[in-house]
Amino acid sequence: MSDPMARAVELASRGPEHGPNPRVGCVLIGANGHVAGEGFHLGAGTPHAEVAAIEDARARGMELAGATAYVTLEPCTHTGRTGPCVDALSAAGVAAVRYAVDDPNPDAAGGGEVLRSRGVDAQYAPSVAAHELNRRWLLAVARRRPYVIAKWAATLDGRTAASDGSSFWITGEAAREHAHAVRAGVDAIVVGTGTVAMDDPWLSARPGGREDGHQPLRVVVGNRSTPGARVWRDDNAIELRTHDVGVVLAALHERECRVVLIEGGSVVTTAFLHADVVDEIHAYVAPMVLGAGTSAVGDLGIRTMADALRGQNLATTSLGEDVLIVARLEKGL
Ligand code: AOF
Ligand code: ZN
Mode of pairing for the β-strands spanning 159-161 and 35-40: unpaired
* DSSP letters spanning 49-109: HHHHHHHHHHHTT---TT-EEEESSPPP-S-SSS--HHHHHHHTT--EEEESS----TTT-
Enzyme catalytic residues: 50
Nearest ligand to residue 85 Cα? 2
Rounded to the nearest angstrom, the distance between the alpha carbon of 257 and the centre of ligand 1 is: 15
Nearest ligand to residue 84 Cα? 2
Rounded to the nearest angstrom, the distance between the alpha carbon of 103 and the centre of ligand 2 is: 10
Nearest ligand to residue 110 Cα? 1
Ligand 1: which of 11, 18, 42, 48 to mutate, most ligand atoms within 8 Å of CB? 48
Question: Where in the chain is CATH 3.40.140.10?
Answer: 4-133
Q: How far, in Å, are 27, 54, 168 from residue 124 at the CA level?
A: 15, 20, 51
**pLDDT digit string (tens) for the chain, length 333 residues:** 579 999 999 999 999 999 999 999 999 999 999 999 999 999 999 999 999 999 999 999 999 999 999 999 999 999 998 999 999 999 999 999 999 999 999 999 999 999 999 999 999 999 999 999 999 999 999 999 999 999 999 999 999 999 999 999 999 999 999 999 999 999 999 999 999 999 999 999 999 999 999 999 999 999 999 999 999 999 999 999 999 999 999 999 999 999 999 998 999 999 999 999 999 999 999 999 999 999 999 999 999 999 999 999 999 999 999 999 999 998 754
Contact 72, 99 (CB under 8 A): yes
Nearest residue (by CA) to ligand 1, atom 6, is 80
Residues with CB under 6 A from ligand 1: 21-22, 24, 41, 44, 48-50, 73, 76, 80-82, 85, 103, 105, 108
What's the CATH number for 146-328?
3.40.430.10
Nearest ligand 1 atom to alpha carbon 83: 8
In eight-state DSSP terms, residue 125 is: -
Short-list 303, 294, 244, CA closest to 271: 244
Nearest residue (by CA) to ligand 1, atom 2, is 48
Rounded to the nearest angstrom, the distance between the alpha carbon of 144 and the centre of ligand 2 is: 20
Phi and psi angles of residue 281, each rounded to the nearest 5 degrees, phi first: -120, 135
CATH superfamily of 4-133: Cytidine Deaminase, domain 2 (3.40.140.10)
Contact 130, 4 (CB under 8 A): no
Residue 133 CB contacts under 8 Å (≥ 6 apart), including other chains: 9, 12, 13, 23, 72
Ligand 1: which of 11, 73, 107, 137 to mutate, most ligand atoms within 8 Å of CB? 73
Nearest residue (by CA) to ligand 1, atom 10, is 80
Question: Where in the chain is CATH 3.40.430.10?
Answer: 146-328
**Strand, helix or coil for residue 244:** coil
**pTM to 2 decimal places:** 0.94
**Strand, helix or coil for residue 232:** helix
Rounded to the nearest angstrom, the distance between the alpha carbon of 328 and the centre of ligand 1 is: 26
Phi and psi angles of residue 106, each rounded to the nearest 5 degrees, phi first: -60, -30
Q: How far, in Å, are 50, 68, 124 from residue 93 at the CA level?
A: 13, 10, 19
Rounded to the nearest angstrom, the distance between the alpha carbon of 109 and the centre of ligand 1 is: 10
Nearest residue (by CA) to ligand 1, atom 4, is 48
Nearest residue (by CA) to ligand 1, atom 21, is 21
**Strand, helix or coil for residue 160:** strand
Buried b (16+ CB within 10 A) or exposed e, 22-46: bbbbbbbbbeeeebbbbbbbbeeeb
Rounded to the nearest angstrom, the distance between the alpha carbon of 22 and the centre of ligand 1 is: 7
Q: Which residues pair with 282 in a beta bridge?
A: 151, 326
